[in-house]
Amino acid sequence: LRSVITSSGYERFMEDSRKGEPTLRSSMLSGAAWMVAMRWAVRGIGLVSTVILVRLLAPDDFGLLAMSYLVISFLEVLTSFGVDIALIQKTEKGKDLWNTAWTIKVVQISTVACLILVTAPFAADHFEEPRIVPLMAFLSFGIFVSAFGNIGIVAFRKDLQFNKEFLYQVVTKVGGFVVTIPLAFLLRSYWALAWGIVAGHFVAVGASYALHPYRPRLSLERFKDLWSFSQWMLLRNIGMYLRRRVDGFLVASFFNTNQMGYYGLGTEVSQLPTTELIWPMSRAFFPGYAKIADDPGRLASAYLRILNGVALMAIPAGVGLALVARPLVFVAFGETWAPVVPVLRWLSIYGVILTVSSGVQTPLVALGRMPRVTALVWTQTLIALSIIAFVATLGSLELIALAQVGSALLLLPLFFYSITSIRLVTWADLRAAVWRPVVAALAMAGALLVLPTSWIPLDAIELAIKVPLGALVYVGVDLGLWRLAGRPDGGEQLLHELISKRFKRDQGTP
């Protein structure tokens, strides 16, 4: 690492970790911990909700909501200018800039709400599902309400106040949870899900004003300044949406609502340990990247350490989930949801690849390389679309999930080339960052695959055996490789620092 990063930048970044006062590096690490905790708290609430709801509602209910949100989320991304990212990326301050950003969001989201009402009948005709019309109309009301949320909460991320961001997100999720579950017992239909979503929007708006004192006003004074950045964010967001939703859209088009429910649940669960890890970490790291974007050595050092840390956690989590997919589904959701198992296995592997590769976008955005990021996203989207569209005609959910893995593997070198070609890091740096987690995960997979399971009477027992065994093998192999490599600075060291910091705080050490 020292050989490819300028000495001054590397030493400055390492010096930050030795200072006793709060530093950018410690703020990024603390922010990452808060964001991961936030996302997992939100997802944990969602998982508990899902475990309850799958026993009260039919797969058809989940499939209907998934079909509705295929259209809604597409309309949202068509007007998504990324003004919150622009506010974080810009170093200047001023109420006129923030008021303009809020006004853009009000217009953007209000437009989406109107478009949902207009397109609902067409969506019902396309999916041959008339229940979509009233459902989308009701959901559009909640989306309209969300337009008036306080833009001031973006300052939580910009100023690295991630504890407040944590509180905001969790309060919002709890608001939806406490409405959805009682209504599911009462209604036993998809309307319980819809009411929970709308309630979450109301809670989010109220919480945004309760947690931040900023009071926005209508203004378009700085529209040109925001548009110069946001136009690329819009193109990028459309490409990312198409990439993430193409499989769901094709499943909805070629399969019935029950199969859509199976695939939707498999997608949701598979994202828990992988893409649900990179999303919150990216939210935490982007403000830090933006602050050091003018120092390539420091930025490269930060990216490589973070890449190693992400790989250290995401690879075993995704591979492990694929290995215990069958007992997990049977224990958590019941044998009725058995078709989810093969989908979950392949999508878990897909999530691993996507998590490791997509991290290159965050430093590129911080550097202002939006044309490069946009081109990368659209290339990925077009290649994946052609592969998955062909496979969808074969009539197998498992093959669609497998096609996701194949397209992600095919595009993995392209992602890494996008950052090596600007000479921020080298291919050798990337290999050094991920090889230990990869080898340790393969060892874990080998140990679990050779483990005989015919003598295990219950799925819960199989799960209770495989999870700790896989974790033990992975941790043992990875730490062994780390020690053999001379304890290089990386994810293992980052985790050690986080644990030590938390331990000292619990012990009252200043």
User: How many Cα atoms sit within 13 Å of 225 on the Cβ side?
Assistant: 17
pLDDT band at 15 (very low <50, low <70, confident <90, very high): very low
What mean pLDDT, rounded, does the chain reach? 80
Reduced 3-state DSSP string for 448-464: HHCCCCCCCCCHHHHHH
Distances (CA, A) of 97 to 85, 106, 217, 224, 374: 13, 14, 11, 10, 24
pLDDT at position 69 over 60:
yes
Phi, psi of 485 (to 5 degrees): -80, 0
pLDDT digits (tens, 9 = 90+) for 275-322: 666 666 666 666 677 777 778 888 888 888 888 888 888 899 999 999
pLDDT at position 357 over 80:
yes
pLDDT at position 189 over 90:
no
- Weakest-pLDDT range from 11-25, 42-56, 232-246, 387-401: 11-25
Confidence at residue 13, expressed as pLDDT on a 0 to 100 scale: 33
Confidence at residue 167, expressed as pLDDT on a 0 to 100 scale: 82
Contact 362, 289 (CB under 8 A): yes
pLDDT at position 345 over 90:
yes
Collapsing DSSP to helix, strand or coil, 268 comes out as: helix
pLDDT digits (tens, 9 = 90+) for 401-435: 999 999 999 999 999 999 999 888 999 999 998 99
pLDDT band at 3 (very low <50, low <70, confident <90, very high): very low
Q: Please state whether the predicted TM-score (pTM) of the whole model is above 0.85.
A: no
Among residues of the chain, what percentage have pLDDT more than 90?
Answer: 19
Confidence at residue 359, expressed as pLDDT on a 0 to 100 scale: 82
> 105: which 2 tokens?
């969001």
Residues in the chain: 510
Confidence at residue 20, expressed as pLDDT on a 0 to 100 scale: 37
pLDDT digits (tens, 9 = 90+) for 249-274: 788 778 887 888 888 888 888 887 66
Average pLDDT estimate for 474-497: 80
Confidence at residue 7, expressed as pLDDT on a 0 to 100 scale: 33
Task: Pick 13 or 144 by higher pLDDT.
Answer: 144
